[in-house]
Amino acid sequence: MNKAIKKIADAKKNNIYFVQIGDVFSGGGESAYLPYAAGAIAAQAFSNSEISAKSRLADILFRRLPLAESLAILKLPFLVGFSSYVWNYEYNKRLAALVKKAYPDCVTVFGGHNIPNGCALLEECGFVDIVIHGEGEEVFEKLLLTLNRDGDLSDIPNLSYRKPCGELAETRREKIIGCDYPSPYTGGIFDKILCDNPDTLFSAILETNRGCVNNCAFCDWGPHKDKVRLFNMERIKGDIEWFSENKIEYIWGADANFGQFDRDLQITQWLINAKAKNGYPKRIKVNYAKNRHENVLKLTGWFAKADLSKSTTVSFQSLSPEVLKNIGRSNMTMESFSKLLDEYRKSGIPTYTELILGLPGETFESFTRGIEMLLDSGQHSIIEVYDCELLPKSALAAPAYKSKHAIRTVKLPFFQYHTCAAEDEEVTEFSDIVVETATMPVEDWIRCKMFTAVFQSLHCMGLLRNVAVYAHRSLSIPYVTFYQSFIEWFFSHQDTFINEVFSGILDSIRKAVEGINCQFYYDAKFGDVRWTLDEGAFLRFSSEIDVFMSEVGDWLITIIEDDEIVGELLKYQKLIVNHPFKKETRESFKFNFPSYFADDKLSAPQRQKTLVTAVPEREFDNLPDYAREIVWYGKRIKKTVLENVREGE
């Protein structure tokens, strides 16, 4: 069929649009994710010859444009499907209302993780016609066939919908067991997006299976614990080849437990081979299985060698037995964790650990004790602490569960870190953040948040890590005691630079409890990027490293009470921190610090004149490049502390 005839034929078809709005990331060029969920549903629907004969995929909207611009893209839409998540739910509703006003006969369909159960969305939004609950490929295909045939929606499972008379209806719930779906990548669904956006660096989702064997209360996969369904290996290989050929830089693995299946080893080899052949993908992030350590060690080692991934996560969420019982989760023992960290260290692979603040059963004491346990086990790099967010379909959000644990949330404006600092956004998205439970009063939540910001910026990112290790190992001062002392001292010394920085952070945290989300740091001198609070503190302290170290010295002498060792420790700490404009530096010390810190069996450094040279991997001549490469990209792979530190000439 020539192009002219095809254009005439397409003009007679129903226009189908999808909307899956995501953020555009800055830093080293504009980047965005391909709208995988919408693409997967479209691929399944348009593989049906009856649908493709009567309908055309007109477009998939993925940019957060002004609403009027998004509406203008839609030309005589027959149906618009909205893929809804916490980061686009309000935008979708606003756009759907405009669509319905401009095109009253257009069918508006909502689906996605942020959709409430039952008819709640239909009751709230009169402009929404149909809601798909759960997975969408098969249900949407049946829906489009039924609409094309003027059929009865009551025969389609997993729907809530508005009848012509205005009455709301729900259909039967049916478990989806299929997994043999066509790929949106190799099926050409995203070809138009790539063609229309040649200057955008696209990231993509790789899904090799669906489902999760775990049942965590905070996760909206939790209530759907089920047998994991495996995608066809031929499809997976084709997707990886497509990523490579289309220069997709970053891959996010959608699997809940990568490494759970032995075939994941083969999939990893395909990714490595693709990069070796074409240079793409450049990076991949996956969620590793927590009970297949042998597989995961292999995978992380292979990824690191191929420069596809430089670090791995070992998640706990909490180390409190009470919390773990409440959320239906189990963790490895601390002994096993310590051995695992050792294995990763021997392999040269950085690790980071994830915790969630605000889970039911947690207290200030149990939260900080958990951090102490992680440090005692050897986790001194990144410990990420996330706010507990109430997801609509999680067990945590169920009314009975919330009542039992006295869960109180605050609706906060939502934004993605490391995105542009947009002003006066047309539509505000929201997150429901847990700020209080039966065991954690809101003031303790604030204390935990403050401790986290201090601990992450000073210890995890390395500004005072070695000093804290010395205090712990040589003076038997617990890490939590060390940082609590720091907090108390500087909040009582209001004329200091450190007080100014952390007082600003505390103010941001308190405002969050009031529903004002300013839990980020922004300064244009570090680029047009919104940083986490701890990253912001690190950037400010590292760019004023002399002032910071001088003020720390005034406090540290009250802890260590030895002028000589305090001076030497701070000089060494400054030497190895990768602060802005860092150049190769050589310093002489009275103690053998490199040997001492490298061997955790040594209880004290030896008095021994030691020449130490510290060499940055790269020198920067401007702050935005430094902030992006060392803090944003480099934090999890330990770039904030110099690796090339050696004794002797």
Query: For residue 67, what pLDDT is reported?
Result: 98
**Is 43 in contact with 189 (CB distance < 8 Å)?**
yes
* Spatial distance between the Cα atoms of 399 and 120, rounded to a whole number of angstroms: 15
- pLDDT band with cut points at 50, 70 and 90 for residue 114: very high
- pLDDT bin (cut points 50, 70, 90) of residue 421 is low
Adjacency order of strands within the sheet including 283-285: 31-33, 201-206, 250-253, 283-285
Q: What is the pLDDT of residue 343?
A: 86
Q: Which residues of 287-446 form beta strands (DSSP E)?
A: 312-313, 351-357, 382-387, 408-413, 430-436
The dihedral formed by the CA atoms of 152, 153, 154 and 155, expressed in degrees to the nearest 10: 80
Give the pLDDT confidence of 178-221 residue by residue, as tens digits: 889 999 999 999 999 999 999 999 999 999 999 888 888 998 87
Q: Which 3 state secondary structure label does DSSP give 572?
A: helix
Phi, psi of 547 (to 5 degrees): -65, -45
Question: What tens digit of pLDDT does each residue of 476-511 get?
Answer: 999 999 999 999 999 999 999 999 999 999 999 999
C-alpha 168, offset from chain centre:
36
Task: Name every residue whose Cβ is closer than 8 Å to that of residue 302 and which is 6 or more positions away in sequence.
Answer: 268, 269, 272
pLDDT band at 225 (very low <50, low <70, confident <90, very high): low
Q: How confident is the model at residue 9 (pLDDT cuts 50, 70, 90)?
A: very low
Task: Please give the structure tokens belonging to residue 405.
Answer: 């644990």
Q: What percent of the chain has pLDDT over 90?
A: 81
Q: pLDDT-based confidence at 585, cuts 50/70/90? A: very high
Instruction: Report in angstroms the alpha-carbon separations of 159 from 121, 162, 172, 192, 292.
Output: 12, 10, 8, 30, 37
More confident residue, 177 or 472: 472
Q: Which of 147-156, 216-225, 555-564 has the lowest mean pLDDT?
A: 216-225
Residue 183 DSSP label: P
Choice among 243-257, 330-344, 569-583 with the minimum mean pLDDT: 330-344
Least confident of 180-194, 286-300, 537-551: 286-300
Asked if residue 291 has pLDDT above 70, the reply is yes
For range 141-164, the mean pLDDT: 96
Q: How far apart are CA 233 and CA 239, in angstroms?
A: 10
- Domains along the sequence of the chain with CATH: 13-170 (3.40.50.280), 350-637 (no CATH)
pLDDT category at 8 given cuts 50, 70, 90 is very low
Percent of the chain with pLDDT over 70: 96
Rounded to the nearest angstrom, the gap between the alpha carbon of residue 357 and the centroid of all alpha carbons in its chain is 15
pLDDT at res. 82? 99
Which range is least confidently modeled, 1-10, 14-23, 158-167? 1-10
309-324 pLDDT, tens digit each: 988 888 889 999 999 9
pLDDT of residue 525: 96
Q: What is the pLDDT of residue 2?
A: 45
The residue among 395, 417, 487 whose CA lies nearest residue 446 is 487
- Section 158-178 average pLDDT: 94
Residue with tokens 């083969």: 266
Token match 């680029």: residue? 527
Q: What integer pLDDT is reported at residue 4 of this predicted model?
A: 40
